[in-house]
Amino acid sequence: MAIIKTEIRSGVYYDSAKLMSLQRSLAGLPGILDAGVVMGTDSNKELLEHIDLLSPEVQSAKPDDLVIVVKSEDDKAADEAMAQVDGLLAARKSDMDEAYMPRSLETAAQMLPDASWVIISVAGRYAAGVTREALRLGRHVHLFSDNVSVEDEIALKLEARERGLLVMGPDCGTAMIGGVGLAFANKIRLGPIGVVAAAGTGLQQVACRIHQLGSGMTYGIGTGGRDLSEKVGALTFLMALDALDRDPDTKVIVVTSKPPSPKVAEEVLKRARKAGKPVVVNFIARAITTLQEDNLYFATGLDDAARLAVELAKDPPKVDGDAGLKLERFKPEQKYFRGLFSGGTLAYEAQHILAGYVPRVWANAPINKEYKMANSMESQEHSIVDLGEDEFTVGRLHPMMDNELRIRRLYEEAKDPQVAVIMLDVVIGYGSHPDPASEIAPAIAKCIAEAKKDGRHLEVVCVVTGTDEDPQNFDSQVKQLVDAGAFVDGSNEVVVRYAGRILRGLAERGAPAEAVVGKAVDLATLKKPLQVINVGLESFAADMKAQETPVVHVDWKPPAGGKENLMAILERMKQRS
Amino acid sequence: MAIIKTEIRSGVYYDSAKLMSLQRSLAGLPGILDAGVVMGTDSNKELLEHIDLLSPEVQSAKPDDLVIVVKSEDDKAADEAMAQVDGLLAARKSDMDEAYMPRSLETAAQMLPDASWVIISVAGRYAAGVTREALRLGRHVHLFSDNVSVEDEIALKLEARERGLLVMGPDCGTAMIGGVGLAFANKIRLGPIGVVAAAGTGLQQVACRIHQLGSGMTYGIGTGGRDLSEKVGALTFLMALDALDRDPDTKVIVVTSKPPSPKVAEEVLKRARKAGKPVVVNFIARAITTLQEDNLYFATGLDDAARLAVELAKDPPKVDGDAGLKLERFKPEQKYFRGLFSGGTLAYEAQHILAGYVPRVWANAPINKEYKMANSMESQEHSIVDLGEDEFTVGRLHPMMDNELRIRRLYEEAKDPQVAVIMLDVVIGYGSHPDPASEIAPAIAKCIAEAKKDGRHLEVVCVVTGTDEDPQNFDSQVKQLVDAGAFVDGSNEVVVRYAGRILRGLAERGAPAEAVVGKAVDLATLKKPLQVINVGLESFAADMKAQETPVVHVDWKPPAGGKENLMAILERMKQRS
């Protein structure tokens, strides 16, 4: 019968590569059936139990105890294995030149003064301290370590923002800076696409697809998976997005994230909308309602995000913002939309699209019952009335056949001083009025003229649904409406989005300018050739060398031998100094 | 001061075109300021009140009373106007040849025996009766009338299904059959796209965009906006979809709808998935989670639906169904998916995509907290474990660096006789294990071999995230995994969808064949040159003539002079005969 031997060591620190290597060495010794070398956390105990390596001694281990377990055929083999532990731990299997290994981050920073970045992969409980040190030395941090508390994350990121530095992480698996990969990172060619990702393998997957599609990247900036949680509030994400917006080499930005807080996702989109370049958006598991909204391109997944970015980067569309809307023509009190529809589906689609631009749209046939108009006869705020609804058509011709009711309503809405945009659909074809524009266009012209007398600019927008072969003729209808002063298109979506942009612009017109918080990232620190200080897993330093990137690896040990209370005292002393 | 005169007439019937024409004529008479001619419903009374045409007499009118109101400058003008009402009502302003006007649907059907279609646009309260008559005469019905109860709608559609007939409506604005438009319909060229729509102007907008993009349509079949409600359950929609699936001239199908019941939308998608051709889906206001799922293409709006359909129709992709999956290799008890991930984002995306194929996926890091695994060490049903989560990595190397834990878990999952598919991600690049496939591939081969000994086919699927320039080399990793018997791709989405199709196929394998309900539409009745019987608005018949389509207009009057109780008696007598 197999026997299990256990050893618990307190107050020691080895990085996880070392632990794994010890475990493998022990498991490979003669007579040993299995071995486990882990820190004594609850989940590690569960893991040991699951693979039949749990012993009563293990149960008593504390989270910062090192637990060594061997399972063997007999006592002798187990004892012999345990006797080798110290020798195995002492063995150094490093490719790194000892001469390059300072003991402190401070010394490393002096050795490599041009290193803008510190990669940190020490055990989670020490990671916040090391990060704070790196920030105080004025370096960006790639914080690979996980098991860092969200409170520490927030504090570190706030401190970083004050200094204009990025904290990518914690639990940030990957980053790509100027063609060089940090930590887990693929070899991606340089190119016009920049990616910000609260999603480690998400960033890797998008990057690999971009490379496979023949394009390349400027930067891939990870933020850690929690950055878009409500607590952290996109602290790193927004700084990174801002940097990529300002970077002239980045022609297209991709933002992706593990499932984000909806509220924080909105903040990210708000900033992305102000970018002067196309932004491809993929929030994992968030359904999309449109493929495009101004400079935002919504992807349904990681593949789709890469595909879109590569296509856009070939010939990036110009982003012109609100300039074409001439919002200065509207009076300050003008802000509302009134849709007077004859087509129910067009009215539904308009509600759905407008919901992306304004907080709520009332309707007599609402998508969301909460927004049912109190009275179909009287518009409120933003309203969409479907005049083809049953309530309007008992013993009365459909509004596509008879324009009278709609024109009466148009005059009413146009008089409302708070109205900025009125939308009408003009659906032609067999069955419909023989020449609707001949009645509607003069009414529009009159409304615009009367608003003008009152000092208001009234924007009337029309979708014409029809074809060149319809009896009324599409072009003739469009011409009459355009001549009357309306914005006209054959696409309901195009017209509603045009209206939406005006409404959003008018709503933001009154909003106070946002206070600048913290300091922006200095682009020069991203642009200069990468040099790195590495604290934690040695293999990350080796990977830097393989990419011909200057690196100094810190032969790091926990301060005060890893004792938590001593560490706290040390930290306080440093803060005072 | 203006005065208002009112006249109420009971037990009379005029169609809405007649009422509107009377209203316009009255309003145009000398001294008349405004006029209203409507049925006495509550909403019409509101309308009259809103435009200052309400009088105490109107208040007392009943819904089937005809209300005539004039507003004038003086008594004399009002009286003179009222005196003209009878004359105006009697005037016939029809282009229709009186000889073509039978008084009953039955006579019309004898006159035009090849008419497969009856267009019905009589007032709502009479529409169900006329529809029933048309169905009993074996004709498809385009039911334009609105204000028909949902109970009547269901009864009519059930009766129609028994007869293999379509009831498009009620409140179905538009249809296009073989190049001819019915009711509100644009002139669309003939082409390869068929559309089913629970959305009148939605159908018109899609049709016009298809035409504008240079393509064309076989059929546009409206169903009425309520057809995809939970009560009606897509009765017409499913019949129409089935007909277009069988129609050899239709190469691509578009389905669109006003906001549908989610449950009924699922039913429609289920049928659409079985179609042997591409189906473009646009449910207004339903966000999409993917652009494509097998033969389904999801559009974000009406424009997008048209664009997609036109693109697909240029070179329709072959739809091969489940044939390539070789589901017969799996044992009956095999049905579950087990994902063992090293990348958190890939694990999230996998959950998100699989949710489209199976009812629920458990995970240790679930998108939906409801589906959190009870124990990360033990999979349940469909499970996705992210082994890179904090719980697995305290003092332990990340699973991208060390494969041991994942391979242990792989062996466990492979032994479970209910498991059909196991997925692994292999993320390469700097930082990762120097040759993960060298350890993972042999384990996969062993699992597949052991399952085979047990008579099971185990499908192992892998996504490799990496590039040709990564140190491990993408192609070399792929080759090792493929040689071990795995399905491998560089796209997480492609791999997960492949797994999803297997899982759905296995789940449906056990399901009983669905009972055939009702009778399918006889394609020949859609294919033969269109001939139409029209009941209601005369202008629809005129539009048929304009499109050179044989039509008989019925000079219809309500049975029993419109008296409801008499009508009920008549109906019962007919049923007995």
A98-146: per-residue pLDDT in tens?
556 898 999 999 999 999 999 999 988 899 999 999 999 999 999 999 8
3-state DSSP helix/strand/coil % of chain B, to nearest 5:
40, 20, 40
* pLDDT for res B569: 62
pLDDT at A286: 85
Q: Do B492 and A302 touch (CB under 8 A)?
A: yes
**Which contiguous run of DSSP H or E holds residue B57?**
helix B56-59
CB A347 within 8 A of CB A386: yes
Bridge partners for B182 per DSSP:
B175
Contact A203, B492 (CB under 8 A): no
Q: How far apart are CA B350 and CA A428, in angstroms?
A: 46
Identify which of B517, B566, B477, B572 has the alpha carbon closest to the alpha carbon of residue B242.
B517
CATH at residue A565? 3.40.50.720
Q: Is residue A522 included in any domain, yes or no?
A: no
- Among chain A residues, the shortest Cα distance to B148 is held by A390
CB of B296 closer than 8 Å to CB of B281: yes
- The per-residue pLDDT for range B521-542, each reduced to its tens digit, is 999 999 999 999 999 988 899 9
Would you call A348 and B285 a contact, using CB atoms and an 8 Å cutoff? yes
Q: What is the DSSP string of B371-405?
A: GB-S-TTS--SSEEEETTSHHHHTTS--TTT--HH
Q: How many helices (H) and strands (E) does chain A have?
A: 21, 22
Residue A547 with chain B: CB contacts under 8 Å: 430
- Tokens at A408, concatenated: 């009466």
Evaluate the CA torsion angle A563, A568, A571, A573 in order and state its sign.
negative
Q: Which residue of B has its CA nearest to A200?
A: B345
Q: Decide: A425 and A463 in contact? Cβ < 8 Å.
A: yes
Are residue A82 and residue A201 in the same domain, yes or no? no
Q: Are strands B140-143 and B117-120 parallel, antiparallel or unpaired?
A: parallel
Co-location of B312 and B369 in the same domain: no
Q: Please indicate, yes or no, if residue B517 is contained in any of the structural domains.
A: no
What band does A247 get if pLDDT is binned at 50, 70 and 90?
A: very high
Residues A153 and A103 in one domain: yes
Q: Which residues contact A560 (CB under 8 A, 6 or more apart)?
A: A566, A567, A569, A570
Residue A284: closest CA among chain B residues belongs to which residue?
Answer: B349
**Cβ atoms of A118 and A571 closer than 8 Å:** no
Containing domain of residue B235, as a range? 190-321
CB pairs under 8 A between A and B: 354
Bridge partners, A487 (sequence order): A461
Instruction: State how far the Cα of B453 lies from the Cα of B556, in Å rounded to an integer.
Output: 76
Contacts of B333 (CB under 8 A, 6+ apart): B417, B418
Instruction: Quote the CA–CA distance of A377 and A370 in Å, as a whole number.
Output: 18
Distance CA(A160)–CA(A117), nearest Å, equals 13
List the one residue out of B447, B515, B432, B519 whose CA is nearest residue B481: B447
> How are beta strands A362-363 and A383-386 bridged, if at all?
parallel
* Same structural domain, B422 and B311: no
Cβ-Cβ contacts under 8 Å, B288 against chain A? 287-289, 300
> Of B288, B321, B354, which residue sits at a domain end?
B321
Q: How many domains does chain A have?
A: 4
Q: What is the predicted pLDDT for the residue at B288?
A: 86
Over pLDDT 70: what percentage of chain A?
A: 94
CB contact under 8 A, B183 and A258: no
The answer to whether A410 and A447 are in contact (CB under 8 A) is: yes
Q: How far is A205 from chain B (nearest CA, A)?
A: 6
On whether residue A526 sits in a domain, the answer given is no
Task: Confirm whether A473 is domain-assigned.
Answer: yes
Whether residue A353 is found in the same domain as residue A211? no
Q: Which tokens sit at B545?
A: 């003539």
pLDDT band at B393 (very low <50, low <70, confident <90, very high): confident
Helices and strands, number each (H, E), in chain B: 21, 22
Are the beta carbons of B186 and A429 separated by less than 8 Å? yes
Flag whether A56 is in a domain: yes
Same domain, A448 and A478: yes
Q: Which residues of chain A have a CB within 8 Å of the CB of B259? A: 348, 367
Contact check, Cβ <8 Å, A469/B429: no
User: Is residue B341 within 8 Å of residue B350, measured between CB atoms?
Assistant: yes
Instruction: For residue B39, give the chain A residue with the closest CA.
Output: A395
Asked if A301's CB is within 8 angstroms of B353's CB, the reply is yes
Same domain, yes or no, for B83 and B110? Answer: no
Q: How far is CA A417 from CA A127, A235, A413, B281, B476, in A?
A: 59, 41, 9, 41, 69
> Shortest Cα distance from A577 to chain B (angstroms)?
32
Which of these, B189, B140, B117, B99, lies nearest to B544 by C-alpha position? B117
Residues of A in contact with B303 (CB under 8 A): 491-494
Q: Which residue in B21, B208, B409 has the most chain A C-beta atoms within 10 A of its own C-beta, making it the best mutation to test that interface? A: B208
Token pair 């529009």 is found at A444
Q: B171 CA to chain A: closest CA distance, Å?
A: 9
pLDDT score for B577:
47
pLDDT at A562 over 60: no
What is the chain B residue with the closest CA to A431?
Answer: B184
Mean pLDDT value of segment A242-246: 96
Q: Which residues of A touch B63 (CB under 8 A)?
A: 394
The C-alpha atoms of residue A417 and residue B516 are separated, in whole angstroms, by 59
Chain CA centroid to CA B355, Å: 21
Who contacts A471 (Cβ-Cβ below 8 Å, separation ≥6)? Answer: A428, A429, A430, A434, B187, B546
In a domain, A157, yes or no: yes
Helical H segments across A187-234, by residue range: 200-212
Residue B530 to residue B180: CA distance in whole angstroms: 8
Q: Which of A41-45, B136-140, B173-177, B206-210 has the lowest mean pLDDT?
A: A41-45
Closest CA to B558 of B37, B22, B43, B66: B66
Cα distances (Å, whole numbers) of residue B278 to B194, B287, B313, B558: 11, 20, 9, 45
Parallel/antiparallel/unpaired status of strands A217-222 and A174-177: antiparallel
Considering only CB atoms, which chain A residues are within 8 Å of B469?
A: 186-189, 211
What is residue A509's predicted lDDT score, i.e. its pLDDT?
84
The whole-number pLDDT of residue B572 equals: 62
For B500, the enclosing helix (H) or strand (E) is helix B492-509
Q: How many angstroms separate the CA atoms of A41 and B416, rounded?
A: 29
Of B33, B68, B90, the residue that ends a domain is B90
Burial of residue A163, with CB atoms counted within 10 A of its CB: 0-12 exposed, 13-18 middle, 19 or more buried: middle
Nearest CA in chain B to A290: B300
What local confidence, expressed as pLDDT, does residue A336 receive? 98
User: A252-257 and A190-198: which strand pairing?
Assistant: parallel
Q: Which residue of B has its CA nearest to A286?
A: B289
* A148 and A289 both lie in a single domain: no
Q: Sheet containing B487-489: which strands, arranged edge to edge?
A: B362-363, B383-386, B336-341, B419-427, B459-465, B487-489
The pLDDT confidence band at residue A398, using thresholds 50, 70 and 90, is confident
Residue range B24-48, pLDDT digits in tens: 889 889 889 888 888 888 888 888 8
Whether A429 and B187 lie within 8 Å, measured CB to CB? yes
CB crowding A87-104: b at 16 or more within 10 Å, else e = ebbeeeeeebeeebbbee
Determine, yes or no, domain membership for B396. Answer: yes
Residue B310's domain is classified under what CATH number? 3.40.50.261
Helix H or strand E encompassing B281: strand B279-283
Is B523 within the bounds of a domain? no
The residue of chain B nearest to residue A402, with distances taken between CA atoms, is B20
Question: CB distance A63–B394 less than 8 Å?
Answer: yes
Which tokens belong to B207?
């049709």
In the predicted model, is pLDDT for residue A237 greater than 90? Answer: yes
Are residues B183 and A430, on separate chains, in Cβ contact within 8 Å? Answer: yes
- B486 with B402, same domain: the answer is yes
Considering the domain architecture, whether residues B107 and B74 belong to the same structural domain is answered as no
- Threshold 0.95, pTM exceeds: no
Q: Which chain B residues contact residue A301 at CB under 8 A?
A: 290, 349, 352-353, 492-493
Distance linking the first and last C-alpha atoms of chain A: 60
Q: For B251-257, what is the mean pLDDT?
A: 97
The answer to whether B395 and A41 are in contact (CB under 8 A) is yes
**A455 plus A544 within the same structural domain:** no
Inter-chain residue contact B425 with A201, CB threshold 8 Å: yes
**The pLDDT of residue A175 is above 50:** yes
Closest by Cα among B68, B50, B235, B192 to A378: B50
* DSSP-derived 3-state class of residue B160: helix
Higher pLDDT among residues B23 and B153, named by residue: B153
Q: Of B309, B303, B140, B305, which Cα lies nearest the Cα of B218?
A: B309
- DSSP letter for A265, please: H
Same domain, yes or no: A398 and A428? yes
pLDDT (mean) for A512-529: 86
Enumerate the residues of chain B whose CB falls inside 8 A of the CB of residue A353. 301
Q: Residues of B with CB below 8 A from A402's CB?
A: 20
- Mean pLDDT over the full length of chain B: 91
